[in-house]
């Protein structure tokens, strides 16, 4: 019996060990569930996005654009030999780079042949004039002879009448009448010949006058050719390459040298059409038509022009004036050429500071339009097409439609839709959610920079 009892106790003990641990674990779980506390509720807070902002100022805007171009002489003289001949004298200053005053005799072509031609034609004219004087004397002689012949005719006709009366009385023979009548006819013939000769005098005079006129034209041409043997500077200039020397034989049409006027130079700057358009106010753009004269176009633009030449150690500036627009648009760059004129580029020389402005120099050109007062400006990056983003009084983002009128450098001018002092968001707010909270970070350096650019105090970039 004892072994059976022991076996039963062991079986019960094993079953109890299987049941008790799960019961204990279940009790612990129940206790934990009943003794735990509920979750703490936290009120949600809106997070503000940090962004750079500026207050839009109103400034006296000076529209400016930058272009580049090469300097060229306003007046260029290409000296060409107009007559042929040997060079007999050359001025010692006839060298490349020399400054020459107006009227300076630079070279002389041998004038001997042209002087002979002038003398020959002068002699021809003198001969023709002598023949005209001879014709005048001949005319006077013919007039006197005609008068005598007419008197002789009168006497002959009177004598013929008397003889006819005698013939009627049969006092003289018929042959005497015939001889007297023949004498009358000869007198009439002489008178007719004189009258014909006198009638031809005007035609002979016209022929002589025409000959004198032709000789006079030839004389003037010969005198011009003689004058052309001397080559003088037509204006104050600076010589370019010289291609002649003393003793050289020149042919008509041969290029001798080039010279560039020193009274003024031109700079042909290249600008995009939208750059030039930005210099005009809305009122002036309406007046801009294709049939405007150059004078009205100059008045319309009314530009202040500065030409700059930079080197590693210095910068030179020349005031210039708007002269004209070129006739066409560059087909490659789609730019318009604006020709600017600088007067007296040599008299404005400052040694070590401003050199002479000579052809071939590559310069920058700044065009300034008249100031536009009280113009609202914003950073260029703040404008997104036809709108920008501003902050309201609660520091929340709002979308504001605007009308930009000018984009220049780092700023844009706003024509409509924005009041001065409005806080404008400069940073990119993408994604831009209307009404989202903004942490404003004022960019004082940016607003200072665009203000100086707009008022013309900072250097403009292309």
pTM, whole model, 2 decimals? Answer: 0.66
Whose tokens are 């008068």? That residue is 147
Of 41-45, 119-123, 174-178, 333-337, which has the strongest mean pLDDT?
Answer: 119-123
**Whether residue 447 has pLDDT greater than 90:** yes
Give the tens place of pLDDT for each residue, 250-298. Answer: 999 999 999 999 999 999 999 888 888 888 877 777 776 666 666 777 6
Give the tens place of pLDDT for each residue, 53-67. Answer: 999 999 999 999 888
Phi, psi of 301 (to 5 degrees): -75, -45
Query: What CATH topology corresponds to 51-62+372-454?
Result: 2.40.420
Alpha-carbon distances, residue 6 vs 1, 9, 13, 21, 246 (angstroms): 9, 5, 11, 23, 152
Chain-centroid distance, C-alpha 269:
8
Give the tens place of pLDDT for each residue, 380-407. Answer: 999 999 999 999 989 999 999 999 988 8
64-71+263-368 sits in which CATH class? mainly beta
Two tokens, residue 134:
């001879």
The CB-side HSE value for 322 (13 A sphere, CA atoms) comes to 23
- Cα gap 297→325, rounded to integer Å: 9
Banded pLDDT at 324 (limits 50, 70, 90):
confident
Q: Where are the domains of the chain?
A: 51-62+372-454, 64-71+263-368, 76-110+229-261, 113-217
* Eight-state DSSP code of residue 260: E
- Cα gap 26→28, rounded to integer Å: 5
Mean residue pLDDT across the chain: 85
- Cα gap 51→438, rounded to integer Å: 7
Query: Is CATH 3.40.50.300 what the domain over 76-110+229-261 is classified as, yes or no?
Result: no
Whose tokens are 């059409």? That residue is 273
Helices 112-168, 174-227: inter-axial angle, 10-degree rounding: 170
Banded pLDDT at 10 (limits 50, 70, 90):
low
Q: What angle do CA 259, 263, 264 make, to 5 degrees?
A: 95
């Amino acid at each position: 019996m004892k072994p059976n009892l022991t076996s039963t106790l062991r079986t019960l003990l094993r079953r109890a060990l299987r049941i008790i641990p799960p019961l204990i674990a279940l009790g612990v779980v129940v206790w934990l569930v009943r003794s735990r506390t509920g979750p703490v509720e936290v009120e949600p807070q809106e997070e503000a996005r940090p962004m750079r902002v500026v207050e839009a100022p109103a400034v006296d805007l000076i529209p400016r654009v930058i272009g580049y171009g090469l300097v060229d002489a306003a007046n260029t003289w290409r000296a060409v030999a107009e007559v042929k001949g040997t060079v007999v004298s050359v001025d010692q200053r006839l060298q490349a780079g020399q400054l020459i005053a107006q009227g300076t005799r630079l070279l002389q072509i041998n004038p001997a042949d042209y002087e002979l031609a002038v003398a020959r034609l002068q002699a021809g004219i003198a001969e023709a004039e002598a023949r005209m004087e001879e014709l005048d004397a001949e005319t006077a002689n013919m007039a006197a002879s005609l008068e005598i012949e007419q008197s002789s005719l009168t006497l002959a006709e009177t004598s013929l009448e008397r003889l006819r009366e005698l013939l009627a009385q049969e006092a003289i023979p018929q042959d005497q009448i015939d001889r007297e009548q023949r004498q009358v006819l000869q007198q009439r013939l002489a008178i007719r010949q004189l009258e014909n000769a006198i009638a031809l005098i005007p035609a002979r005079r016209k022929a002589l006058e025409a000959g004198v006129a032709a000789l006079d034209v030839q004389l003037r041409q010969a005198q011009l050719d003689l004058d052309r043997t001397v080559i003088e500077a037509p204006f104050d200039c600076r010589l370019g390459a010289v291609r002649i020397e003393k003793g050289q034989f020149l042919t008509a049409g041969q290029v001798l040298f080039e010279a560039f006027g020193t009274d003024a130079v031109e700079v042909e700057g290249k600008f995009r059409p939208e750059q030039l358009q930005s210099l005009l106010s809305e009122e002036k753009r309406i007046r801009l038509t294709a049939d405007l004269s150059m004078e009205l176009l100059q008045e319309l633009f009314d530009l202040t022009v500065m030409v700059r030449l930079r080197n590693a150690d210095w910068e030179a500036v020349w005031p210039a004036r708007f002269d004209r627009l070129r006739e066409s648009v560059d087909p490659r760059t789609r730019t318009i050429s604006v020709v600017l004129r600088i007067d007296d580029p040599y008299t404005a020389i400052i040694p070590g500071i401003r050199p002479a402005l000579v052809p071939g120099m590559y310069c920058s050109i700044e065009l300034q339009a008249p100031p536009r007062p009280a113009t609202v400006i914003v950073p260029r990056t703040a404008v997104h097409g036809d709108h920008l983003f501003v902050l309201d009084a609660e520091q929340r983002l709002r979308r504001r439609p605007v009308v930009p009128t000018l984009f220049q450098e780092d700023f844009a001018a706003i024509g409509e839709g924005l009041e001065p002092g409005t806080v404008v968001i400069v940073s990119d707010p993408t994604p831009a959610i209307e009404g989202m909270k903004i942490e404003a970070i004022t960019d004082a350096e940016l607003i200072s920079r665009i203000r100086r650019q707009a008022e013309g105090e900072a250097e403009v970039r292309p």
